[in-house]
Amino acid sequence: MKTTTLLEVSKVNIHYGTNCVLEDIDFIAPAHTITAIIGPSGCGKSTLLRSFNRTNELITKTRRTGDILLEGREINDYDPLDLRARVGMIFQKPAVLPTTIYENVAVGPRLYGTRKKSELDEIVEESLTGASLWKELKDRLHKRAEQLSGGQKQRLAIARTLALKPEIILFDEATASLDPISTQKIEDLMHRLKETTTIIIATHNMKQAARASDNTLFLMAEEGEPSRVVEFGPTELIFTNPKVEKTELYITGRFG
């Protein structure tokens, strides 16, 4: 498999109002890899992640400078709605729409005008299979999604995203509210999904970053300063042989 750069982030600064929260962020996410963004709370992991599909714009007023390139093209040059279909996102809180399991998966294709039942059926089955939910749920597709467990809801969110066949899936602390077994299932899933997509996760769980990712981006801020990249590189190196002392101190839990 040829490794190509799918997402390239260079010299990115992000401001909230006049307040700069992220400065000079550089990293690349090669296709079919998992990149973990780690760092202490409040270091802007989620803000950075959300800028990749421009969901930041929906939540707070942020301003960005620098380049974020998806397949070599600046993401601001994409239609934001198209961009969000191509760059899916899983949120921290396992949330479902108050409807059936089936409709929770079909909602994406419906937004883009797919109406034929046979087509939707196929997409729903494919997506639920992709999210390792098909076997569990195939007999109750038309039951309410609210009844699912937190872990199932989160995998349903993944299925919902998969229904649009995204190139990138962003996981924003997606396992933070799950138990270890559900977390494990999601991590296994990420591992399988990288055959077809590229994954970027924001996590404060360093063990997860170590277990699940190929590359790690460590962000941290000095007192009163915006966050910067402390270190970026293959996860194995970051966790076994970090080049920067701060990284070692952080991952061994001595601060942060």
Partner 1 sequence: MKRSRRVSPTQAVLFMMTLISVVGLALIFFFVIREGYPIFSKVGLGKFLLGREWLPTRGLFGALPLILTSLMLVVGSVLVATPLGVGLAIYMVEYSPRPVRRFLKTIVELLAGIPSVIFGFFGITVFIPLTRHYFGSSGFGLIPAIVVLAIMILPTITAVSGDAIRAVPRENRLIVQALGGTRWQTVRRGVLPSAFRGIITGTILAEGRAIGETMAVLMVLGNAPMMPKALNQPAAAMPSQIALDMAYATGDHRVALFALGAVLLVFAAVLIFAARRVGRQRR
Residues in the site for partner 1, rule: CB under 8 A?
Answer: 53, 55, 58, 80-85, 88-89, 91, 93, 95-99, 107-108, 110-112, 157, 160-161, 164
Compare residues 55 and 247 and give the one whose CB is closer to partner 1.
Answer: 55
CB of 7 to partner 1, least distance (A): 17
Give bridge partners of residue 65 from the DSSP assignment: 13
Strand order from edge to edge, sheet including 5-16: 73-74, 62-70, 5-16, 19-30, 227-234, 215-221, 34-38, 198-202, 168-172, 87-90
Pairing, β 73-74 against β 227-234: unpaired
CB of 160 to partner 1, least distance (A): 7
Residue 100 dihedral angles phi and psi, to the nearest 5°: -80, 165
Compare residues 107 and 176 and give the one whose CB is closer to partner 1.
Answer: 107
Compare residues 98 and 180 and give the one whose CB is closer to partner 1.
Answer: 98
Compare residues 38 and 162 and give the one whose CB is closer to partner 1.
Answer: 162
CA atoms of 171 and 186, how far apart (whole Å): 10
What tokens does 211 get?
Answer: 């277990």
CB of 84 to partner 1, least distance (A): 4
CB of 206 to partner 1, least distance (A): 26
CB of 236 to partner 1, least distance (A): 31
Compare residues 145 and 251 and give the one whose CB is closer to partner 1.
Answer: 145
Pairing, β 5-16 against β 19-30: antiparallel
